[in-house]
A and B are shown apart, each in its own frame.
Chain A
């Protein structure tokens, strides 16, 4: 193996000047690039179907529980969703420029653009964290902590008074130190079948957004590694598949959000429009 590999590495060296640019089992840098590119698209195909399972569940339950899903969606803040959409799209722009820099062979520019992408991605997650914290106070986490009666009541109060801090007694609850729901609210939920339906909405909301967030965090990790390599000039106009691939991945994450935004945030936006 050693002998043969050396031979092939030698060939690559002669042709292009950088040993790492061409793995031994490829014939040309074009073949290698096209293989990597196709592989990434194939991976994204599986991602489409991976999220597709959740979108299928969403479609069915939304069809079955249309009214409650709209009311539940109304609890979310479409303004924050819209801001986050634009933040994430902006991070896609910076990512596009990172790939462009790789095509031009500008190593330091790759690092800078990827850094910007991480910053705006983190801003997105920061806003998301704020939303989730608010959601915890409304008791819409789909656990035993969930309370639909409380959520609707506090949401209606919030619409008028904006008093996020005046949510009843300051007791430690399930997450984010949210207040504990009084027993009569739990009693009221148990008699209301809509509570279960709303809980399903929030289950879908949290699983879809957290799966999306998980993808972003994985993206941060990959980008960090690529930044280190790029800093040392590892990528050239002949070999930038990793940069291009993380770019495709990041745009895919953006795509998912483009659909999550109307499906989750805008579904009930018309209900709250008058306030």
Chain B
């Protein structure tokens, strides 16, 4: 970093008592709607994203409910096959592009990143706001197409299906996703520059909280991957408009080239979804076992390694698509390499928990669930990266179960843990702990009940993307739908008690968890508009715990 003027004290216990009610914070210093819609404050933009993505999550969940309801019986009796196709496409597009990819970076990341590295804001606050508007515009286009007309290609838009046989809603959806891509790029760009240029004095690379490392690795993927999907979707659009066959075999093109370009982004996109929850889990595990993360540098390096590896394995989605057998072997082998950094992460968490003073607060319950579900999701991924077994499993419910374990069991559960962790900092209020624990348990149970049967039914050969199935699969499907109902209740609870707690929750105080990173030790809850009254100076490691932490006294504000 270039010259930084400092006039701040060394890292020390906060000198001032947390503001008791009367203080100016980022929530109450301006309250008009315009002040929210035109805000340049990273904290408010994080909340704008949180609200928008929650709405999208509910919508995507609604479509998931329709799918599960249809699959209770073997016959397609609830909806037409066409509407079923449109439902799972809408579910996939909304959940992948509008929820999972921006979920943690844009909401929790936006809120926490500057706080964690001791900055007043991200490097480009205006770009940050623009990225939210770009997200909203992209969402507008896509929702008009998905709800107004319906798209039945699946979220992957494989050619020539998407370019030949369909109505123009595909074009509108592709336009929406093209626009949305820039939102993702702007966020990634902003984060990388922020992490490189905005760290406070003393905040060396190896003093950053691990969540920041994860955001950094994620941003690298966002920057390098997203433009490729943007140009690919643009080509699909042009192909439809001009009738050129760049991906159409009848016109000399190659549909597999589309799959290559699509997965060049969309495999790394899985890591855009999962890396930030992996990062936030570090914070949870360290804080709630009162120990520094075991193997900090290994953990930071594993995040970067995952980001790089994610770009060299994409063709494992295409083993049955007509890929050259030699390339298939090559990509299969490379895919196994991703297991190494992922394994490093799981083992370092276990080592951190070992002999820690571990607690069962609701964020930590989510973190425990996250470790288990992510491990199952990752391990079943190895079945799919093995050429022989993939022939059997491809396009069955086994695949559906695998990626839901990673994306829901991993990304969403990790996000929920992070959200419950950061909530007191965001709004300065505690939520009802009992309900939060209930919700964590319901989500864990419901999730496993929903998706574990899908491993079995997939292994037995039930293909995905059909609204009818043979009678013998019914039992497992009924289990799955029952689990989805429990899961739905688990998600509904936080949607109720979290907003409630903003107004009626107990005051949280500056640092209710006894965490040791800057965001907790040096900012108010909720933080003041510019985060830090004086620029902090960091002198040591991010995780320094004394084991004897008393939650009650922390809540009382000491």
Contact = CB atoms under 8 A, between A and B. Distances in A.
Interface of A: 1, 4, 8, 24-25, 27-28, 30-31, 34-35, 38-39, 42-43, 45-47, 49-54, 56-57, 60-61, 64-65, 142-144, 193, 196-197, 199-200, 203-204, 207
Contacts of A35: 123-124, 193, 196-198
B225 A49 contact: yes
B246 A203 contact: yes
B228 A27 contact: no
A49 B311 CA distance: 13
Given A35-B123, A50-B230, A196 B252 contact: yes
Contacts, number: 123
**Minimum-distance CB pairs A-B, first 4:** A196-B252, A53-B231, A50-B227, A25-B121
5 contacts: A27-B535, A31-B4, A142-B242, A199-B245, A207-B238
Contacts of A57: 235, 246, 257, 261
Contact of A42 (B192, B238, B243, B261): B192
B224 A45 contact: yes
Interface in B160-213: 185, 189-190, 192-193, 196-198
B52 interface: no
Contact of B243 (A1, A4, A144, A204): A144
A56 B5 contact: no
B529 interface: yes
Nearest to B5: A27
Taking chain A's interface residues, is the majority helix, strand, or loop, or is none over half, making it mixed? Answer: helix
Contact of B223 (A4, A27, A42, A143): A42
Given A4-B530, A49-B227, A143-B243, A25 B4 contact: no
Interface string B57-96: 0000000000000000000000000000000000000000
B113 to A, nearest CB: 13
Contact of A203 (B30, B198, B228, B244): B244
B225 A197 contact: no
B321 interface: no
B253 interface: yes
B119 interface: yes
Contacts of B238: 207
B120 A25 contact: yes
Contacts of A65: 252
B318 to A, nearest CB: 14
Nearest to B229: A53
A50 B530 contact: no
Given A46-B189, A207-B238, A196 B245 contact: yes
A199 B227 contact: no
Given A4-B529, A193-B252, A38 B196 contact: yes
Size range of the chain B interface in the assembly:
35 or more
A4 B242 CA distance: 55
A50 to B, nearest CB: 4
A54 B223 CA distance: 17
A6 to B, nearest CB: 12
B226 A46 contact: yes
Given A8-B530, A49-B224, A200-B245, 9 more contacts: A4-B530, A25-B120, A25-B125, A31-B2, A31-B4, A34-B197, A38-B197, A53-B232, A57-B246
B197 A31 contact: yes
Nearest to A194: B252
A39 B185 CA distance: 11
B496 interface: no
Contacts of A50: 227-228, 230-231
B548 interface: no
B3 interface: yes
Interface string B233-269: 0010010001111100001111001001100000000
A46 B252 contact: no
A57 B246 CA distance: 8
Interface in B101-128: 119-121, 123-125
A56 B256 CA distance: 13
B244 A142 contact: yes
Contacts of B34: none
Nearest to B26: A1
B19 to A, nearest CB: 15
Contacts of B227: 46-47, 49-50, 52-53
Contacts of A8: 530
A49 B261 CA distance: 11
Contacts of B228: 49-50, 52-53
A143 B238 CA distance: 10
Interface in B98-157: 119-121, 123-125
Contacts of A60: 254, 257
Contacts of B243: 143-144
A196 B244 CA distance: 9
A60 B252 CA distance: 12
Given A31-B4, A38-B193, A56-B261, A199 B224 contact: no
A42 B185 CA distance: 10
B264 to A, nearest CB: 8
A196 B197 contact: no
A27 B4 contact: yes
Contacts of B252: 65, 193, 196-197, 199-200
Nearest to A65: B252
A30 B528 CA distance: 26
Contacts of B245: 196, 199-200
Nearest to B192: A42
B500 to A, nearest CB: 28
B232 to A, nearest CB: 6
- Residue among B30, B225, B243 having the largest count of chain A Cβ atoms under 10 Å: B243
A1 B39 CA distance: 11
A155 B524 CA distance: 74
Given A27-B5, A31-B1, A56-B261, A45 B246 contact: no
A200 B253 contact: yes
A200 B535 contact: no
B123 A39 contact: yes
Contacts of B231: 50-54
Nearest to A196: B252
B29 interface: yes
B230 A28 contact: no
Interface in B516-558: 528-530, 535
- Residue among A39, A65, A142 having the largest count of chain B Cβ atoms under 10 Å: A39
B4 to A, nearest CB: 5
Contact of B3 (A30, A38, A43): A30
